[in-house]
Amino acid sequence: MALLQTWSRFKSWALGPTGLKTTHAWGPISNAGLPLSGIADITKPPENISENMTAAMCLYSLLFMRFAWRVQPRNYLLFGVHVSNELIQAYHLQRILGGYDFYAGRHASQEQATPKAAPTVPA
Amino acid sequence: MGDANTPRPPSNGAVAAASTSRLRQFINSPAGPKTIFFWAPAMKWALVIAGLRDINRPVERVSTAQNVALAATGAIWARWSFQIVPKNYSLATVNVFVCATGLYHLARKAKAYMATRSA
Estimate to the nearest angstrom the gap between the alpha carbon of A108 and the chain centroid: 19
Q: What is the pTM of this model?
A: 0.75
Give the phi and the psi of residue A106 in degrees, each rounded to 5: -160, 175
Please report the pLDDT score of residue A123 as a whole number.
Answer: 58
Contact by Cβ (8 Å): A48, B24:
no
Q: Kindly write down the DSSP assignment for every residue of chain B, as one continuous string.
A: --TTTS--PPPHHHHHHHS--HHHHHHTSTTSTTSHHHHHHHHTHHHHHHHHHGGGS-GGGS-HHHHHHHHHHHHHHHHHHHHSSS--HHHHHHHHHHHHHHHHHHHHHHHHHHHHHH-
Please report the pLDDT score of residue A40 as a whole number.
Answer: 93
Q: Sort out which chain B residues have CB atoms less than 8 A from A26's CB and list them.
A: 76, 80
B69–A33 CB contact, under 8 Å = yes
ipTM of this model? 0.73
Please report the pLDDT score of residue A121 as a whole number.
Answer: 63
Contact by Cβ (8 Å): B93, B46:
no
**Residues belonging to chain A with any Cβ–Cβ distance to chain B shorter than 8 Å:** 23, 26-27, 30-31, 33-34, 36-38, 40-41, 44, 47-50, 52-53, 55-57, 59-60, 63-64, 66-67, 70-71
CB-nearest partner of B63 from A33, A41, A67? A41
In terms of CA atoms, which chain B residue is nearest residue A47?
B61
B63–A49 CB contact, under 8 Å = yes
In terms of CA atoms, which chain B residue is nearest residue A82?
B40
Q: Please give chain A's pLDDT, 123 residues, in tens.
A: 889 999 999 898 888 887 888 877 888 998 999 999 999 999 988 888 889 999 999 999 999 999 889 887 888 999 999 999 999 999 999 999 988 888 888 886 765 544 455 555 665
Weakly modelled stretches of chain B, pLDDT under 50: 13-18
Residue type for position B24: R
A33–B73 CB contact, under 8 Å = yes
In terms of CA atoms, which chain B residue is nearest residue A33?
B69
Please report the pLDDT score of residue B15 as a whole number.
Answer: 46
A50–B61 CB contact, under 8 Å = yes
Angle at the Cα of A75 from the Cα atoms of A3 and A20, rounded to 5 degrees:
55
Residues, chain A: 123
